[in-house]
Amino acid sequence: MDIKQKIEELRKALQEHNYNYYVLDSATISDFEFDMKLKELQELEAKYPEFYDATSPTLRVGGMVTKNFETLVHEHRMYSLDNSYSKEDLEDWEKRIQKILGDVTVEFTCELKYDGASISLTYEDGKLVRGLTRGDGFQGDDVTNNIKTIKTVPLQLRGDYPSKFDIRGEIVLPFEAFEKMNLERIENGEEPYMNPRNTAAGSLKLQDSALVAERPLECLLYSVVGTNLGLSSQYQVLEKTRSWGFKVPTVAKLCKTTDEVMEFVDYWDIHRHELPYETDGVVVKVNSIQQQEELGYTSKAPRWAMAYKFKAEQVSTVLEEITYQVGRTGAITPVANLTPILLAGTTVKRASLHNADQIEKFDIRVGDTVFVEKGGEIIPKIVGVDLTKRSENSLPTQYIDHCPECHAPLVRTEGDAKHYCPNEYGCPPQITGRIQHFISRKAMDIEGLGGETVELLFKEGLIENYADLYTLTKEQLLPLERMAEKSAENLINGVAASVNIPFERVLFALGIRFVGETVAKKLAKAYKNIEALMVASVEELITVDEIGQRIAESVVGFFGNEKNLEILKRLRAYGVQFELSADKLLNQTELFKGKTFVVSGVFEKVSRDELKKMIEDNGGKVGSSISSKTSFLVAGDKMGPSKRTKAESTGVPIISEEDFLEML
Residues β-bridged to residue 350 = 337
Is 612 part of the annotated catalytic residue set? no
Cα–Cα distance between 264 and 254 in angstroms, integer?
10
Report residue 171 CA to chain centroid gap.
15
DSSP-based three-state secondary structure for 243: helix
Q: Are 448 and 494 in contact (CB under 8 A)?
A: yes
CA atoms within 13 A on the CB side of 325: 14
Cα–Cα distance between 575 and 608 in angstroms, integer?
37
Catalytic residue among 113, 418, 621, 646: 113
What is the three-state SS of 95-163? HHHHHHHCCCCCCEEEEEEECCEEEEEEEECCEEEEEEECCCCCEEEECHHHHCCCCCCCCECCCCCCC
The per-residue DSSP string of 350-404 comes to EEE--SHHHHHHHT--TT-EEEEEEETTTEEEEEEE-GGG--TT-------SB-T
The per-residue DSSP string of 31-69 comes to HHHHHHHHHHHHHHHHH-GGG--TT-GGGGG---B-SSP
The per-residue DSSP string of 441-471 comes to TTTT--TT--HHHHHHHHHTTS-SSGGGGGG
Cα–Cα distance between 276 and 172 in angstroms, integer?
10
Element (H, E) at 233: none
CA atoms 453, 459, 460, 464: torsion sign: positive
Cα–Cα distance between 226 and 266 in angstroms, integer?
33
Cα–Cα distance between 470 and 463 in angstroms, integer?
10
Q: Are 447 and 495 in contact (CB under 8 A)?
A: no
- Residues assigned a catalytic role: 113
